[in-house]
Structure 1
Amino acid sequence: MAAHGDNNEELRLFQTGEHACGYWPERQARDLVLDPQDRRLGALYPMALTWGFRRSGDLVYRPHCEGCRACVPVRIPVARFNPDRSQRRCLAHNADLDYRILPAERTEEQFALYQRYLQHRHLHGGMDDHGPHEFDQFLIGSWSHGRFMEIRTPGAAGKRGQLLAVAVTDVTEQGLSAVYTFFDPEQAKRSLGTYAILQQIAWAQRNGLPHLYLGYWINGHRKMDYKRRFHPLEYFDGKRWMPGGQDNADGFP
Protein backbone atom coordinates (compact mmCIF):
# COMPACT_ATOMS: atom_id res chain seq x y z
CA MET A 1 0.00 0.00 0.00
CA ALA A 2 1.41 3.39 -0.98
CA ALA A 3 0.22 6.47 0.86
CA HIS A 4 1.38 9.95 1.79
CA GLY A 5 0.68 12.14 4.80
CA ASP A 6 -0.50 15.75 4.71
CA ASN A 7 3.08 16.96 4.41
CA ASN A 8 3.67 14.59 1.45
CA GLU A 9 6.05 12.40 3.41
CA GLU A 10 5.89 8.74 2.45
CA LEU A 11 3.96 6.54 4.84
CA ARG A 12 6.05 3.53 5.81
CA LEU A 13 4.47 0.13 6.47
CA PHE A 14 6.22 -2.81 8.10
CA GLN A 15 5.42 -6.49 8.23
CA THR A 16 6.03 -8.16 11.56
CA GLY A 17 7.68 -11.52 12.00
CA GLU A 18 5.58 -14.57 12.65
CA HIS A 19 3.90 -14.85 16.05
CA ALA A 20 1.25 -17.06 17.60
CA CYS A 21 -2.21 -16.31 16.26
CA GLY A 22 -4.45 -14.83 18.93
CA TYR A 23 -7.52 -16.55 17.48
CA TRP A 24 -6.33 -19.94 16.21
CA PRO A 25 -3.57 -21.26 18.54
CA GLU A 26 -2.32 -23.79 16.00
CA ARG A 27 -1.61 -21.06 13.41
CA GLN A 28 1.13 -18.48 12.95
CA ALA A 29 0.24 -14.88 12.19
CA ARG A 30 1.82 -11.73 10.80
CA ASP A 31 0.67 -8.12 10.90
CA LEU A 32 1.06 -5.12 8.66
CA VAL A 33 1.79 -2.08 10.86
CA LEU A 34 2.12 1.64 10.29
CA ASP A 35 5.53 2.95 11.28
CA PRO A 36 5.27 3.24 15.09
CA GLN A 37 7.83 6.08 15.05
CA ASP A 38 5.88 8.21 12.57
CA ARG A 39 5.04 11.47 14.35
CA ARG A 40 1.88 11.74 12.22
CA LEU A 41 0.47 8.44 13.48
CA GLY A 42 -2.34 9.97 15.51
CA ALA A 43 -3.42 12.10 12.54
CA LEU A 44 -3.16 9.16 10.11
CA TYR A 45 -5.10 6.76 12.29
CA PRO A 46 -8.64 7.88 11.26
CA MET A 47 -7.82 7.23 7.59
CA ALA A 48 -6.17 3.94 8.49
CA LEU A 49 -9.49 2.78 9.93
CA THR A 50 -10.96 3.06 6.44
CA TRP A 51 -8.13 0.83 5.14
CA GLY A 52 -9.10 -1.96 7.52
CA PHE A 53 -6.51 -1.17 10.22
CA ARG A 54 -7.09 -1.25 13.97
CA ARG A 55 -5.39 0.19 17.06
CA SER A 56 -3.79 -1.60 20.01
CA GLY A 57 -2.11 0.98 22.22
CA ASP A 58 0.10 3.01 19.86
CA LEU A 59 0.28 0.20 17.30
CA VAL A 60 -1.90 0.58 14.20
CA TYR A 61 -2.06 -2.81 12.52
CA ARG A 62 -3.88 -5.09 10.12
CA PRO A 63 -3.50 -8.89 9.94
CA HIS A 64 -1.38 -9.87 6.95
CA CYS A 65 -0.89 -13.62 7.18
CA GLU A 66 0.50 -15.76 4.39
CA GLY A 67 -2.21 -17.99 2.98
CA CYS A 68 -4.88 -16.83 5.42
CA ARG A 69 -7.47 -14.06 5.11
CA ALA A 70 -9.69 -15.16 7.99
CA CYS A 71 -9.70 -11.75 9.73
CA VAL A 72 -12.24 -9.57 7.93
CA PRO A 73 -12.56 -5.87 8.93
CA VAL A 74 -16.20 -5.00 9.60
CA ARG A 75 -18.15 -1.86 10.44
CA ILE A 76 -21.76 -0.82 11.05
CA PRO A 77 -23.26 2.04 8.98
CA VAL A 78 -25.09 3.41 12.00
CA ALA A 79 -27.74 5.46 10.19
CA ARG A 80 -29.17 2.24 8.74
CA PHE A 81 -28.83 0.07 11.83
CA ASN A 82 -31.92 -1.78 13.02
CA PRO A 83 -31.70 -3.82 16.25
CA ASP A 84 -33.05 -7.35 16.00
CA ARG A 85 -35.34 -8.93 18.58
CA SER A 86 -32.47 -10.19 20.73
CA GLN A 87 -30.79 -6.76 20.75
CA ARG A 88 -34.07 -5.06 21.67
CA ARG A 89 -34.40 -7.49 24.57
CA CYS A 90 -30.85 -6.63 25.63
CA LEU A 91 -31.69 -2.93 25.69
CA ALA A 92 -34.88 -3.55 27.66
CA HIS A 93 -33.13 -5.85 30.15
CA ASN A 94 -30.49 -3.18 30.81
CA ALA A 95 -32.81 -0.18 30.83
CA ASP A 96 -31.96 0.35 34.49
CA LEU A 97 -28.28 1.04 33.76
CA ASP A 98 -26.55 4.40 33.48
CA TYR A 99 -23.58 5.22 31.30
CA ARG A 100 -21.30 8.17 30.79
CA ILE A 101 -18.43 9.08 28.48
CA LEU A 102 -15.12 9.95 30.15
CA PRO A 103 -11.55 10.79 29.11
CA ALA A 104 -9.34 7.74 28.59
CA GLU A 105 -7.69 7.84 32.00
CA ARG A 106 -7.30 4.78 34.22
CA THR A 107 -8.91 4.69 37.64
CA GLU A 108 -8.37 2.12 40.38
CA GLU A 109 -11.97 1.00 40.03
CA GLN A 110 -11.63 0.44 36.28
CA PHE A 111 -8.35 -1.42 36.72
CA ALA A 112 -9.83 -3.72 39.35
CA LEU A 113 -12.70 -4.59 36.99
CA TYR A 114 -10.21 -5.15 34.14
CA GLN A 115 -8.22 -7.61 36.27
CA ARG A 116 -11.34 -9.55 37.24
CA TYR A 117 -12.39 -9.73 33.61
CA LEU A 118 -9.01 -11.01 32.41
CA GLN A 119 -8.80 -13.59 35.18
CA HIS A 120 -12.18 -14.95 34.14
CA ARG A 121 -12.07 -14.59 30.34
CA HIS A 122 -8.36 -14.80 29.44
CA LEU A 123 -6.75 -16.91 32.15
CA HIS A 124 -3.27 -18.06 31.00
CA GLY A 125 -3.85 -16.21 27.72
CA GLY A 126 -0.91 -13.85 28.11
CA MET A 127 -2.95 -10.91 29.42
CA ASP A 128 -4.05 -12.09 32.86
CA ASP A 129 -0.89 -10.70 34.48
CA HIS A 130 -1.43 -7.16 33.13
CA GLY A 131 -0.58 -4.41 35.60
CA PRO A 132 -1.39 -0.68 35.47
CA HIS A 133 1.41 -0.04 32.94
CA GLU A 134 0.08 -2.70 30.56
CA PHE A 135 -3.45 -1.33 30.98
CA ASP A 136 -2.30 2.13 29.91
CA GLN A 137 -0.10 0.79 27.13
CA PHE A 138 -2.82 -1.46 25.67
CA LEU A 139 -5.95 0.66 26.08
CA ILE A 140 -4.75 4.27 26.07
CA GLY A 141 -1.36 4.78 24.44
CA SER A 142 0.45 8.06 23.97
CA TRP A 143 -1.66 9.66 21.20
CA SER A 144 -5.05 8.15 22.04
CA HIS A 145 -8.25 9.23 20.32
CA GLY A 146 -10.01 7.23 23.02
CA ARG A 147 -12.79 7.70 25.50
CA PHE A 148 -14.01 5.36 28.21
CA MET A 149 -17.72 4.57 28.30
CA GLU A 150 -18.52 3.55 31.87
CA ILE A 151 -21.65 1.46 32.39
CA ARG A 152 -23.04 1.39 35.95
CA THR A 153 -26.00 0.43 38.05
CA PRO A 154 -28.02 3.44 39.23
CA GLY A 155 -26.49 5.30 42.14
CA ALA A 156 -28.27 6.19 45.34
CA ALA A 157 -28.17 9.43 47.34
CA GLY A 158 -25.82 11.16 44.94
CA LYS A 159 -23.36 8.26 44.81
CA ARG A 160 -22.22 6.44 41.71
CA GLY A 161 -23.55 2.95 41.17
CA GLN A 162 -21.52 -0.24 40.74
CA LEU A 163 -19.19 -0.23 37.74
CA LEU A 164 -20.27 -3.10 35.45
CA ALA A 165 -18.42 -2.44 32.19
CA VAL A 166 -16.01 -0.14 30.38
CA ALA A 167 -16.08 0.21 26.59
CA VAL A 168 -12.84 1.71 25.27
CA THR A 169 -13.86 3.69 22.20
CA ASP A 170 -11.86 5.76 19.72
CA VAL A 171 -13.53 8.89 18.36
CA THR A 172 -12.60 10.07 14.86
CA GLU A 173 -14.27 11.92 12.01
CA GLN A 174 -14.54 8.57 10.21
CA GLY A 175 -16.66 7.19 13.05
CA LEU A 176 -16.24 5.42 16.37
CA SER A 177 -14.00 2.39 16.77
CA ALA A 178 -14.82 -0.21 19.43
CA VAL A 179 -11.31 -0.91 20.72
CA TYR A 180 -12.01 -3.17 23.71
CA THR A 181 -14.72 -3.84 26.25
CA PHE A 182 -14.29 -5.42 29.66
CA PHE A 183 -17.09 -6.16 32.10
CA ASP A 184 -18.07 -7.83 35.34
CA PRO A 185 -17.89 -11.60 34.67
CA GLU A 186 -20.66 -12.16 37.25
CA GLN A 187 -23.10 -10.18 35.08
CA ALA A 188 -23.10 -12.50 32.07
CA LYS A 189 -26.91 -12.56 31.87
CA ARG A 190 -26.93 -8.87 31.02
CA SER A 191 -24.98 -9.41 27.73
CA LEU A 192 -22.94 -6.32 28.52
CA GLY A 193 -20.72 -6.69 25.45
CA THR A 194 -23.75 -6.45 23.17
CA TYR A 195 -25.20 -3.64 25.28
CA ALA A 196 -21.97 -1.65 24.97
CA ILE A 197 -22.04 -1.93 21.17
CA LEU A 198 -25.67 -0.82 21.06
CA GLN A 199 -24.79 2.24 23.15
CA GLN A 200 -21.78 2.97 20.93
CA ILE A 201 -24.09 2.86 17.91
CA ALA A 202 -26.44 5.33 19.63
CA TRP A 203 -23.43 7.51 20.51
CA ALA A 204 -22.32 7.62 16.86
CA GLN A 205 -25.87 8.39 15.73
CA ARG A 206 -26.20 11.29 18.18
CA ASN A 207 -22.94 12.80 16.95
CA GLY A 208 -23.66 12.35 13.26
CA LEU A 209 -20.75 9.93 12.78
CA PRO A 210 -21.17 7.48 9.89
CA HIS A 211 -19.76 4.22 11.23
CA LEU A 212 -18.94 2.07 14.22
CA TYR A 213 -15.84 -0.01 13.45
CA LEU A 214 -15.90 -3.43 15.12
CA GLY A 215 -12.43 -4.70 14.26
CA TYR A 216 -12.23 -8.17 12.72
CA TRP A 217 -14.88 -10.82 12.14
CA ILE A 218 -13.71 -14.43 11.72
CA ASN A 219 -15.99 -16.99 10.13
CA GLY A 220 -16.45 -19.98 12.41
CA HIS A 221 -14.84 -18.41 15.47
CA ARG A 222 -17.16 -18.54 18.48
CA LYS A 223 -15.85 -15.33 20.08
CA MET A 224 -16.37 -13.34 16.86
CA ASP A 225 -19.80 -14.67 15.93
CA TYR A 226 -21.68 -11.87 17.74
CA LYS A 227 -20.50 -9.29 15.21
CA ARG A 228 -22.52 -10.71 12.34
CA ARG A 229 -25.71 -10.16 14.34
CA PHE A 230 -25.56 -6.41 13.75
CA HIS A 231 -27.49 -5.37 10.64
CA PRO A 232 -26.42 -4.06 8.24
CA LEU A 233 -22.73 -4.92 8.40
CA GLU A 234 -20.08 -3.89 5.87
CA TYR A 235 -16.76 -5.63 5.28
CA PHE A 236 -13.47 -4.49 3.76
CA ASP A 237 -12.28 -6.69 0.88
CA GLY A 238 -8.77 -5.20 0.79
CA LYS A 239 -9.72 -2.42 -1.62
CA ARG A 240 -13.17 -1.15 -0.69
CA TRP A 241 -15.98 -1.54 1.82
CA MET A 242 -18.72 -3.90 0.67
CA PRO A 243 -22.18 -4.77 1.99
CA GLY A 244 -22.44 -8.09 3.83
CA GLY A 245 -24.89 -10.81 2.89
CA GLN A 246 -28.45 -11.08 4.11
CA ASP A 247 -27.30 -12.69 7.36
CA ASN A 248 -24.09 -10.64 7.51
CA ALA A 249 -22.02 -13.74 6.66
CA ASP A 250 -23.02 -15.02 3.21
CA GLY A 251 -21.53 -12.03 1.42
CA PHE A 252 -18.15 -12.24 3.13
CA PRO A 253 -15.15 -13.79 1.38
Structure 2
Amino acid sequence: MRHTLPIAPQFYVTAPQPCPYLEGRMERKLFTALQGEYAETLNDALSKQGFRRSQNVLYRPSCAECSACLSARIRVADFEPNKTQRRLLRRNRGLRRRTTSPWATEEQYALFRTYLDRRHADGGMADMDIFEFAAMIEETPIRSRVIEYARRDEDGHGEDLTAVCLTDVLDDGLSMVYSFYDPDRPRDSLGTYIILDHIEIAREAGLPYVYLGYWVPGSPKMGYKARFNSVEVYHRGRWQGLGDPDSYTAETHPLSTDPIAEQVAKISLPDTRPTRG
Protein backbone atom coordinates (compact mmCIF):
# COMPACT_ATOMS: atom_id res chain seq x y z
CA MET A 1 0.00 0.00 0.00
CA ARG A 2 1.35 3.44 -0.95
CA HIS A 3 0.48 6.80 0.52
CA THR A 4 1.59 9.96 -1.26
CA LEU A 5 1.78 13.58 -0.19
CA PRO A 6 1.08 16.33 -2.74
CA ILE A 7 4.83 16.68 -3.19
CA ALA A 8 7.66 14.15 -2.96
CA PRO A 9 8.61 12.03 -1.11
CA GLN A 10 6.32 9.00 -1.18
CA PHE A 11 5.64 7.01 1.99
CA TYR A 12 5.10 3.28 2.31
CA VAL A 13 4.18 0.83 5.07
CA THR A 14 5.96 -2.45 5.76
CA ALA A 15 4.12 -5.72 6.29
CA PRO A 16 3.73 -6.67 9.97
CA GLN A 17 6.56 -8.71 11.47
CA PRO A 18 7.53 -9.81 15.01
CA CYS A 19 8.47 -6.90 17.27
CA PRO A 20 12.13 -6.99 18.41
CA TYR A 21 11.38 -5.10 21.64
CA LEU A 22 8.12 -6.42 23.11
CA GLU A 23 7.42 -10.13 23.05
CA GLY A 24 4.29 -11.34 21.34
CA ARG A 25 3.67 -8.16 19.35
CA MET A 26 3.91 -7.30 15.68
CA GLU A 27 5.64 -4.20 14.37
CA ARG A 28 4.98 -2.13 11.29
CA LYS A 29 7.01 0.79 9.90
CA LEU A 30 6.19 3.88 7.90
CA PHE A 31 9.11 4.64 5.60
CA THR A 32 10.36 6.65 2.65
CA ALA A 33 13.43 6.63 0.41
CA LEU A 34 16.29 8.96 1.25
CA GLN A 35 17.89 10.02 -2.00
CA GLY A 36 18.55 12.91 -4.34
CA GLU A 37 19.89 16.39 -3.79
CA TYR A 38 17.59 17.10 -0.85
CA ALA A 39 18.48 13.95 1.12
CA GLU A 40 20.18 15.83 3.95
CA THR A 41 17.37 18.37 4.21
CA LEU A 42 14.76 15.60 4.37
CA ASN A 43 16.78 13.63 6.92
CA ASP A 44 17.12 16.69 9.15
CA ALA A 45 13.40 17.46 8.95
CA LEU A 46 12.11 13.94 9.56
CA SER A 47 14.60 13.17 12.33
CA LYS A 48 12.93 15.99 14.27
CA GLN A 49 9.65 14.08 13.82
CA GLY A 50 10.74 10.74 15.20
CA PHE A 51 12.18 9.13 12.07
CA ARG A 52 15.43 7.14 11.95
CA ARG A 53 17.80 6.37 9.08
CA SER A 54 18.80 2.90 7.87
CA GLN A 55 21.06 3.15 4.82
CA ASN A 56 18.98 5.09 2.24
CA VAL A 57 15.65 4.72 4.05
CA LEU A 58 13.95 6.85 6.73
CA TYR A 59 11.46 5.01 8.92
CA ARG A 60 9.25 5.43 11.97
CA PRO A 61 7.25 2.79 13.89
CA SER A 62 3.60 2.78 12.88
CA CYS A 63 2.08 -0.25 14.58
CA ALA A 64 -1.65 -0.90 14.38
CA GLU A 65 -2.49 -0.96 18.11
CA CYS A 66 0.78 0.03 19.82
CA SER A 67 2.60 3.34 20.21
CA ALA A 68 5.21 2.28 22.76
CA CYS A 69 8.30 3.16 20.69
CA LEU A 70 9.34 6.77 21.34
CA SER A 71 12.22 8.53 19.62
CA ALA A 72 14.65 9.80 22.27
CA ARG A 73 17.30 12.51 22.31
CA ILE A 74 19.52 14.18 24.92
CA ARG A 75 19.59 17.96 25.42
CA VAL A 76 23.33 18.53 25.42
CA ALA A 77 23.35 21.89 27.21
CA ASP A 78 21.38 20.51 30.17
CA PHE A 79 23.14 17.18 30.55
CA GLU A 80 25.16 16.48 33.68
CA PRO A 81 26.69 13.01 34.20
CA ASN A 82 25.66 11.25 37.38
CA LYS A 83 28.07 9.56 39.76
CA THR A 84 28.03 6.24 37.90
CA GLN A 85 28.57 7.93 34.54
CA ARG A 86 31.49 9.98 35.86
CA ARG A 87 33.06 6.76 37.08
CA LEU A 88 32.63 5.23 33.61
CA LEU A 89 34.33 8.22 32.02
CA ARG A 90 37.33 7.77 34.31
CA ARG A 91 37.44 4.01 33.72
CA ASN A 92 37.57 4.48 29.95
CA ARG A 93 40.13 7.28 29.88
CA GLY A 94 42.51 4.96 28.02
CA LEU A 95 40.26 4.80 24.97
CA ARG A 96 41.35 6.82 21.95
CA ARG A 97 38.71 8.22 19.63
CA ARG A 98 39.22 7.99 15.86
CA THR A 99 36.78 9.64 13.44
CA THR A 100 36.71 8.39 9.85
CA SER A 101 34.56 8.53 6.75
CA PRO A 102 31.85 5.83 6.48
CA TRP A 103 34.05 3.04 5.20
CA ALA A 104 33.80 -0.54 6.49
CA THR A 105 36.88 -2.53 7.47
CA GLU A 106 37.55 -6.17 8.28
CA GLU A 107 38.55 -5.15 11.81
CA GLN A 108 35.17 -3.49 12.32
CA TYR A 109 33.33 -6.51 10.99
CA ALA A 110 35.25 -8.89 13.27
CA LEU A 111 34.22 -6.80 16.30
CA PHE A 112 30.67 -6.56 14.96
CA ARG A 113 30.41 -10.35 14.62
CA THR A 114 31.74 -10.91 18.13
CA TYR A 115 29.25 -8.39 19.49
CA LEU A 116 26.30 -9.98 17.70
CA ASP A 117 27.27 -13.54 18.60
CA ARG A 118 27.52 -12.68 22.31
CA ARG A 119 24.73 -10.12 22.69
CA HIS A 120 22.21 -10.55 19.86
CA ALA A 121 22.61 -14.06 18.47
CA ASP A 122 18.87 -14.36 17.88
CA GLY A 123 18.37 -10.83 16.52
CA GLY A 124 17.47 -9.70 13.05
CA MET A 125 21.09 -8.88 12.16
CA ALA A 126 22.56 -12.19 13.34
CA ASP A 127 23.12 -13.52 9.81
CA MET A 128 24.59 -10.31 8.36
CA ASP A 129 27.67 -11.06 6.24
CA ILE A 130 30.55 -8.71 5.52
CA PHE A 131 28.94 -7.36 2.35
CA GLU A 132 25.71 -6.49 4.17
CA PHE A 133 27.76 -4.94 6.95
CA ALA A 134 29.64 -2.82 4.42
CA ALA A 135 26.32 -1.67 2.95
CA MET A 136 25.07 -0.67 6.42
CA ILE A 137 28.16 1.47 6.98
CA GLU A 138 28.79 2.86 3.51
CA GLU A 139 25.36 3.34 1.91
CA THR A 140 24.56 6.78 3.23
CA PRO A 141 23.40 9.74 1.13
CA ILE A 142 24.04 12.21 3.94
CA ARG A 143 26.89 13.44 6.12
CA SER A 144 27.91 10.40 8.18
CA ARG A 145 30.97 9.41 10.18
CA VAL A 146 32.34 6.23 11.70
CA ILE A 147 33.62 6.92 15.21
CA GLU A 148 36.00 4.24 16.48
CA TYR A 149 37.33 3.77 19.99
CA ALA A 150 40.60 1.88 20.51
CA ARG A 151 42.89 1.07 23.42
CA ARG A 152 46.53 0.07 23.62
CA ASP A 153 47.02 -3.66 23.26
CA GLU A 154 48.72 -5.67 26.00
CA ASP A 155 52.25 -5.39 24.59
CA GLY A 156 51.85 -1.63 24.10
CA HIS A 157 52.87 -1.65 20.44
CA GLY A 158 49.48 -1.31 18.80
CA GLU A 159 45.80 -0.66 19.44
CA ASP A 160 42.79 -2.93 19.73
CA LEU A 161 39.50 -1.75 18.26
CA THR A 162 37.09 -1.69 21.21
CA ALA A 163 33.93 0.10 20.04
CA VAL A 164 32.41 1.59 16.89
CA CYS A 165 29.50 3.93 16.22
CA LEU A 166 28.00 4.90 12.86
CA THR A 167 26.92 8.50 13.40
CA ASP A 168 24.97 10.94 11.25
CA VAL A 169 25.59 14.67 11.53
CA LEU A 170 22.28 16.53 11.50
CA ASP A 171 21.70 20.26 11.45
CA ASP A 172 20.74 20.14 15.14
CA GLY A 173 22.73 17.23 16.52
CA LEU A 174 24.34 13.84 16.21
CA SER A 175 22.25 10.78 15.43
CA MET A 176 23.69 7.49 16.70
CA VAL A 177 22.60 5.15 13.91
CA TYR A 178 24.21 1.95 15.22
CA SER A 179 26.93 1.10 17.71
CA PHE A 180 28.71 -2.09 18.75
CA TYR A 181 31.57 -2.90 21.09
CA ASP A 182 33.73 -5.53 22.78
CA PRO A 183 31.30 -7.70 24.79
CA ASP A 184 34.14 -9.04 26.96
CA ARG A 185 34.36 -5.74 28.87
CA PRO A 186 31.01 -5.58 30.70
CA ARG A 187 32.42 -3.51 33.59
CA ASP A 188 33.40 -0.76 31.15
CA SER A 189 29.75 -0.22 30.07
CA LEU A 190 30.97 0.70 26.61
CA GLY A 191 27.48 1.38 25.22
CA THR A 192 26.93 4.04 27.85
CA TYR A 193 30.43 5.40 27.36
CA ILE A 194 29.84 5.87 23.60
CA ILE A 195 26.76 7.97 24.36
CA LEU A 196 28.64 10.05 26.92
CA ASP A 197 31.41 10.71 24.41
CA HIS A 198 28.89 11.68 21.71
CA ILE A 199 27.44 14.22 24.13
CA GLU A 200 30.92 15.71 24.44
CA ILE A 201 31.44 15.70 20.65
CA ALA A 202 28.10 17.48 20.16
CA ARG A 203 28.96 20.01 22.86
CA GLU A 204 32.31 20.78 21.20
CA ALA A 205 30.57 21.19 17.83
CA GLY A 206 27.83 23.43 19.23
CA LEU A 207 25.08 20.93 18.38
CA PRO A 208 22.13 20.90 20.81
CA TYR A 209 21.07 17.23 20.67
CA VAL A 210 22.26 13.64 20.58
CA TYR A 211 19.62 11.36 19.04
CA LEU A 212 19.58 7.89 20.64
CA GLY A 213 17.03 6.01 18.55
CA TYR A 214 13.94 4.57 20.19
CA TRP A 215 13.16 4.18 23.87
CA VAL A 216 10.54 1.54 24.59
CA PRO A 217 8.85 1.38 28.00
CA GLY A 218 8.57 -2.24 29.08
CA SER A 219 11.62 -3.33 27.06
CA PRO A 220 14.64 -4.20 29.26
CA LYS A 221 17.08 -3.83 26.37
CA MET A 222 16.03 -0.17 25.93
CA GLY A 223 15.95 0.76 29.62
CA TYR A 224 19.44 2.26 29.66
CA LYS A 225 18.34 5.28 27.62
CA ALA A 226 16.13 6.49 30.46
CA ARG A 227 19.18 6.68 32.77
CA PHE A 228 20.49 9.83 31.08
CA ASN A 229 19.17 13.07 32.50
CA SER A 230 17.87 15.75 30.10
CA VAL A 231 16.34 13.07 27.84
CA GLU A 232 13.43 14.11 25.64
CA VAL A 233 11.01 11.81 23.80
CA TYR A 234 8.89 12.48 20.73
CA HIS A 235 5.42 11.79 22.11
CA ARG A 236 2.06 12.65 20.56
CA GLY A 237 3.60 14.82 17.88
CA ARG A 238 6.03 16.88 19.97
CA TRP A 239 9.26 16.65 21.94
CA GLN A 240 8.90 16.69 25.72
CA GLY A 241 11.02 15.85 28.75
CA LEU A 242 10.94 12.17 29.61
CA GLY A 243 9.99 12.73 33.24
CA ASP A 244 9.13 9.57 35.16
CA PRO A 245 9.77 6.53 32.89
CA ASP A 246 7.16 4.57 34.84
CA SER A 247 4.46 7.00 33.75
CA TYR A 248 4.59 5.63 30.20
CA THR A 249 2.70 2.54 29.18
CA ALA A 250 3.32 -0.15 26.60
CA GLU A 251 -0.29 -1.29 26.64
CA THR A 252 -2.01 -1.82 23.31
CA HIS A 253 -5.17 -0.02 22.26
CA PRO A 254 -6.98 0.08 18.89
CA LEU A 255 -7.00 3.91 18.96
CA SER A 256 -3.38 4.38 20.04
CA THR A 257 -2.22 5.33 16.53
CA ASP A 258 -3.80 7.38 13.75
CA PRO A 259 -4.61 5.79 10.38
CA ILE A 260 -1.63 5.80 8.02
CA ALA A 261 -3.10 8.47 5.73
CA GLU A 262 -3.56 10.81 8.70
CA GLN A 263 -0.02 10.15 9.91
CA VAL A 264 1.39 11.01 6.49
CA ALA A 265 -0.73 14.15 6.23
CA LYS A 266 0.69 15.41 9.54
CA ILE A 267 4.33 15.04 8.48
CA SER A 268 5.98 18.42 8.01
CA LEU A 269 8.18 18.40 4.92
CA PRO A 270 10.96 20.88 4.21
CA ASP A 271 10.33 23.51 1.56
CA THR A 272 12.62 22.62 -1.35
CA ARG A 273 11.14 25.10 -3.81
CA PRO A 274 13.74 27.42 -5.34
CA THR A 275 13.60 30.98 -4.06
CA ARG A 276 13.06 33.75 -6.56
CA GLY A 277 15.46 36.62 -6.70
Cα distance between partner residues in 2 of 1:35 and 1:58 = 6
| Count of aligned pairs | 247
Distance 1:3 1:75, change over 3 A: farther
Shift in Å, 1:11: 2.8
Counterpart of 2:88 in structure 1 is 90
Hey, what's the Cα distance between the residues in 2 that align with 1:39 and 1:15? 24
User: What TM-score, normalized to structure 1?
Assistant: 0.89
Counterparts of 1:83 and 1:242, CA distance in 2: 20
Q: In the TM superposition, what is the alpha-carbon distance from 1:252 to its structure 2 partner?
A: 4.6
How far residue 131 of structure 1 moved from its aligned partner, in angstroms, is 1.2
Report which structure shows greater RCO (CA 8 Å, sep ≥6).
2
Question: In structure 1, which of residues 76, 79, 88 is the aligned counterpart of residue 77 of structure 2?
Answer: 79
> 163-172 or 235-244, which moves further after superposition?
235-244
Confirm whether residue 109 of structure 1 aligns to residue 115 of structure 2. no
Alignment match, 1:217: 215
1:169 to 167, 170, 176: 167
Q: CA deviation at 1:118?
A: 0.9
Amino acid at match of 1:64: S
From 176, 193, 200, give the equivalent of 2:191. Answer: 193
Structure 1 residues 50 and 66 mapped into 2: Cα distance closer, same or farther (>3 Å)?
same
**Counterpart residue type for residue 102 of structure 1:** T
Counterparts of residues 30-41 of structure 1 (less than 5 Å): 30-35=28-33, 40-41=38-39
Q: Which residue of structure 2 aligns with residue 231 of structure 1?
A: 229
Instruction: Determine if contact 1:146/1:169 at 8 Å carries over to the other structure.
Output: yes
- Aligned to 1:162, the other structure's residue is in SS state strand
Change (3 A) 1:160 1:55: farther
Structure 1 residue identity aligned to 2:89? L
Identify the range of structure 1 (148-157 vs 135-144) with the bigger mean alpha-carbon deviation.
148-157
SS at match of 2:114: helix
Q: Which runs of 5+ in 1 are unaligned?
A: none
The 1:137–1:192 alpha-carbon spacing in structure 2 relative to 1, beyond 3 Å, is same
1:96 counterpart letter in structure 2? G
- Structure 2: any 5+ residue segments left out of the alignment? 250-277
The answer to whether the 8 A contact 1:52-1:238 is kept is no
Q: Aligned ranges for residues 28-177 of structure 1 at < 5 Å?
A: 28-35=26-33, 40-154=38-152, 160-177=158-175
Partner secondary structure for residue 141 of structure 2: coil
Contact 1:51–1:238 (8 Å) recurs in 2:
no
The alpha carbon displacement at 1:159 in A equals 5.3
Measured in 2, the distance between the counterparts of 1:19 and 1:41 equals: 28
| Bigger Cα displacement from structure 2, 206-215 vs 147-156 | 147-156
SS at match of 2:218: coil
Once the two structures are TM-superposed, the CA of residue 160 in structure 1 deviates from its matched residue by 4.2
Contact 1:244 1:251 in 2 (8 A): no
Contact 1:14 1:35 in 2 (8 A): no
1:91 partner amino acid: L
Separation in structure 2 between the aligned mates of residue 59 and residue 33 of structure 1, nearest angstrom: 7
Q: 2:177 aligns to what?
A: 179
In 2: Cα distance, 1:185 partner to 1:13 partner: 37
Residue number in structure 1 paired with 2:205: 207
Shift of 1:24: 2.3
Tell me how far apart the structure 2 counterparts of residues 2 and 201 of structure 1 sit (CA, whole Å).
Answer: 36
TM-score by length of 2: 0.82
Q: Contact between 1:78 and 1:205, CA under 8 Å: does it hold in 2?
A: yes
- CA-atom RMSD in angstroms: 2.3
CA offsets per residue over residues 68-89 of structure 1, 9 Å max, x none?
Answer: 0110111001011011111111
Cα distance in 1 between the residues matched to 2:218 and 2:130: 34
- For the 8 Å contact 1:20–1:29, the answer to whether it is kept is yes
